[in-house]
Chains A and B, each alone.
Chain A
Amino acid sequence: MTARSFRGPAVTEPPWARWLLVAVVLTILAILLVLPLAVVFIEALKRGAGVYLAALSDPDALSAVKLTMIVAAISVPLNVVFGIAAAWAVTKFRFPGKSLLTTLIDLPFSVSPVVAGLIFVLVFGARGWLGPWLRANSIEIIFAVPGIVLATTFVTLPFVARELIPLMESQGVADEEAALSLGANGWQTFWRVTLPNIRWGVLYGVLLCNARAMGEFGAVSVVSGHIRGLTNTMPLHVEILYNEYNFAASFAVASLLALLALITLFAKSALEWRYSSELAAGRGH
């Protein structure tokens, strides 16, 4: 939304009503969004930069940061591949079960993350369906990094696909057909025509997906086991420190997550501003 649409000709309310409405919205935003964000940074830095840096360079904190990065580095690319493949299938082909696929893609958004985590425990856990077989082959998934990656990937699955489906729908198949008639094979068409057409949409989806992957708590909490230095991601680490009344350290780690959120927000706005015409018009988030 831009400032222009605010002053549309359809506005009929008197000025005082408009200002009142704006004031109410801004107040709610300040209380619910800005204030907590400020508190995070204030609490984190309250006892000085020394304590702040010490909290961040603690080995457990470092390993939480590292694990979070690894999880994001695996699940985000998986999401990109899945998202492009799904959007491609949904928008460029006609096949039976297409609407079912579109609905399924949204499942991770409609299911509680805790339930998502529990599903993985039920399947891969020690007493789950595949538990005995996994143990016999000494493969660890639950309470280990693979489980965290799986849960994160599941929870973030819709981001790229949902960004691309409306975009590719509006672009249609005309460019691809032109490429084919000019002699390009499927592979060349994808790399030279389709991908460049959707690159900003992909980047947008990656940003949102990455923010969620690094910040996911519920599903990861269920499958991680909270083993310090091993299976603790940043959000989990924040909770552990908080429960130990170690507020300064807790907020220090939290401030990193808040910073990530701010950077994501900024990059997202920059993308929207610069490439609005190449991003999907009717996005749902």
Chain B
Amino acid sequence: MQVRIEGVTKSFGDHPALKDLSLKVGSGQLFALLGPSGSGKTTLLRLIAGLERADAGAVYFGDVDASRIPIQRRRVGFVFQHYALFRHMTMFDNIAFGILVRRKEFTHTRDSLRRRCLELLDLVQLSGLEDRYPHQLSGGQRQRVALARALAIEPSLLLLDEPFGALDARVRKDLRRWIRELHTKTGHTTLFVTHDQEEALELADAVVVLNDGRVEQIGTPEQIYSAPASPFVFNFIGDSARIPGSAINGGWRGPRPPEDADIFIRPQDVTIVGPHEGAIHGDIVGVRRLADIRRVVVRTGAGDIEVNVADGKPTEMGAAVGLQFDKWRTYRNGVLLQRD
């Protein structure tokens, strides 16, 4: 099912959480909502699910205005940020809940209901845990049960609010692949919320970057990563440094007056060169070890710039160096000037 969000505004008291937001999610697509804490991601999901009412604008399911569909009949599978599993029910009963309360739609016999629930448990790789209660499961297991419960109602739209929020980095990676496979297998239109850019880029067909209740950019992971539409997106997607300078016809002319344009640059796109070469000069003031690379901090007239340095290259504290920029993006007043 295709979902269209048109000009939606939502405030809590006088605090606007969503500001004139529009978005279209194609049928069967996997979209990531990416944004910092408080940017309105959960609010947007709740609005789509029918748990909040928009102040202005509308949500369309296909061609139908969703505000005409009561929440119970929207068939939206919602996996909540904090799971919201029914604590007094076993895993089995949690999963069966949606089917049991919709007896009219699902004509299950006892046997077929049981089979269906066990099938779903199997799908989320929790076979054998059907008699456990929520407090007897780990965070990741709860998360997967919440997912199975949402899948049980055969949703036309799946909303996942930080589905990997409570998990450690390793398990997150595994679950990420697994969600991708699950999506390929079931083909539900899916929106998932994350504030982990790596997760969004790896997993989604398209990424929506939210900032302060507005859409900053919508695009494929490739577009988001290589052509961030605004300094905010550039910054949010990975480490970066901002260098003020001047630009003519979209071409950057270096860190010199008039400072009418900024370039943004990533640590991997900077090379350390001799002290009299390069576009900008400074001293090495820090060296840090990251997982697979060394990170050198160079203090320049335009502020501290971080540079990735391959192992084996000498990096001396206090050494005067020049920096050569291999790739960058230029923005003026928050708008991307130059593209490749």
User: B-contacting residues of A (Cβ < 8 Å)?
Assistant: 174-175, 177-185, 188, 192-193, 196-197
Find A181's partner among B78, B82, B87, B88 (CB 8 Å cutoff): B78
* Whole-angstrom CA separation of A193 from B75 in the bound complex: 19
Segment of B16-24, B95-103, B267-275, B300-308 in the binding face: B95-103
22 contacts between A and B (CB under 8 A): A174-B84, A178-B78, A178-B84, A178-B85, A178-B86, A179-B86, A179-B101, A181-B51, A181-B74, A181-B76, A182-B101, A182-B152, A183-B75, A183-B98, A183-B105, A184-B72, A184-B97, A184-B101, A185-B101, A192-B101, A196-B86, A196-B89
Residues of B within 8 A of A180 (CB): 51, 71-72
Contact A174 B73 (CB under 8 A): no
Residue B207 CB within 8 A of the other chain: no
B149 touches A182 (CB 8 A): yes
- Kindly supply a per-residue 1/0 record for chain B positions 310-326, scoring 1 wherever the CB is within 8 Å of any chain A CB and 0 otherwise: 00000000000000000
* Distance of A145 Cα from B178 Cα, bound (Å): 67
Contacts of B75 on A, CB cut-off 8 Å?
A: 183
For the complex, is B164 an interface residue (Cβ under 8 Å from A)? no
Q: B73: which of A177, A183, A193 is its contact (CB, 8 Å)?
A: A183
Q: Which residues of A contact B51 (CB under 8 A)?
A: 177, 180-181
Given A181-B71, A183-B73, A197-B88: A174 and B102 interface contact (C-beta under 8 Å): no
A178 to B94, CA, bound (A): 11
Q: Are B88 and A179 in contact (CB under 8 A)?
A: no
Given A181-B71, A183-B102, are A175 and B86 neighbors across the interface (CB < 8 Å)?
yes
Task: Report the bound CA distance from A181 to B87 in whole Å.
Answer: 17
* Closest chain B CB from A92 CB (angstroms): 13
Docked pose: A211 CA to B285 CA in angstroms: 74
B92 near A: Cβ within 8 Å? Answer: no
Q: A175-B86, A193-B86, A197-B87 are in contact. Are A183 and B101 (CB under 8 A)?
A: yes
Do B78 and A183 touch across chains, with their CB atoms under 8 A apart? Answer: no
Bound complex: CA A196 to CA B101 (Å): 16
How many whole Å from A135's CB to the nearest CB in chain B? Answer: 51
Q: Is the CB of B153 within 8 A of A182?
A: yes
B97 in contact with A192 (CB, 8 Å): yes
Report chain A residues within 8 Å CB of B49: 181
In Å, the complex CA distance between A193 and B97 comes to 10
Which chain A positions have C-beta within 8 A of B72?
180, 183-185
Interface centre among B73, B77, B84 (most CB of A within 10 A): B84
Chain A residues near B252: list those with CB within 8 A.
none
Query: Smallest CB–CB gap between A8 and chain B, Å?
Result: 26
Contact of A175 among B50, B73, B84 (CB under 8 A): B84
Of listed A174, A179, A180, residue having the most chain B CB within 10 A: A180
**In chain B, residues 248-287, which have Cβ atoms closer than 8 Å to a Cβ of chain A?**
none
Pairs of residues from A and B, 9 with the lowest C-beta to C-beta distance, nearest first: A182-B98, A174-B84, A178-B84, A184-B101, A196-B88, A183-B102, A181-B78, A183-B72, A188-B101
A81–chain B nearest beta-carbon distance, Å = 21
Q: Closest residue to A180 on the B side, CB-wise? A: B71
Q: What is the chain B residue whose CB lies nearest that of A195?
A: B88
B80 on the A face (CB < 8 A): yes
CA distance A192 to B93 in the complex (A): 11
CB nearest neighbor in A for B89: A196
Q: Is the CB of B101 within 8 A of A178?
A: no
> How far is A93 from B104 in the complex, measured between Cα atoms in Å?
29
Q: Which of B50, B82, B88, B97 contacts A182 (CB 8 A)?
A: B97
Q: How far is the CA of A178 from the CA of B149 in the complex (A)?
A: 10
What's the Cα separation between A179 and B73 when bound, in Å? 12
Q: What's the least CB distance linking B106 to chain A, in Å?
A: 10
Q: Are B97 and A177 in contact (CB under 8 A)?
A: no
Chain B residues contacting A188 (CB-CB under 8 Å) are 101
Instruction: List 16 additional A-B contacts (Cβ < 8 Å) besides A179-B97, A188-B101, A197-B88.
Output: A174-B84, A175-B87, A177-B78, A177-B80, A178-B149, A181-B74, A181-B78, A182-B153, A183-B72, A183-B75, A183-B101, A183-B105, A185-B101, A192-B86, A192-B97, A192-B101
A178, A182, A196: most-surrounded residue (chain B CB, <10 A): A182
Most buried by B among A178, A179, A192, A193: A178
**CB of A151, distance to nearest CB on chain B (Å):** 36
Residues of B within 8 A of A185 (CB): 72, 101
Interface centre among B50, B72, B102, B153 (most CB of A within 10 A): B72
CA distance A183 to B88 in the complex (A): 19
Contacts of B152 in A (CB 8 A): 182
Distance of A208 from chain B, by nearest CB (Å): 23
In the complex formed, the residue of A with least CB distance to B88 is A196
**Complex: A85 Cα to B125 Cα, angstroms:** 41
Q: Which of B19-56 contact A (CB under 8 A)?
A: 49-51
Residue on A with the closest CB to B105? Answer: A183
Q: Min CB distance, B59 to chain A, in Å?
A: 14
Q: CB within 8 A of A183: which of B85, B89, B153?
A: B153
A175 and B83 alpha carbons, distance in the complex (Å): 9
Interface centre among A181, A192, A197 (most CB of B within 10 A): A181
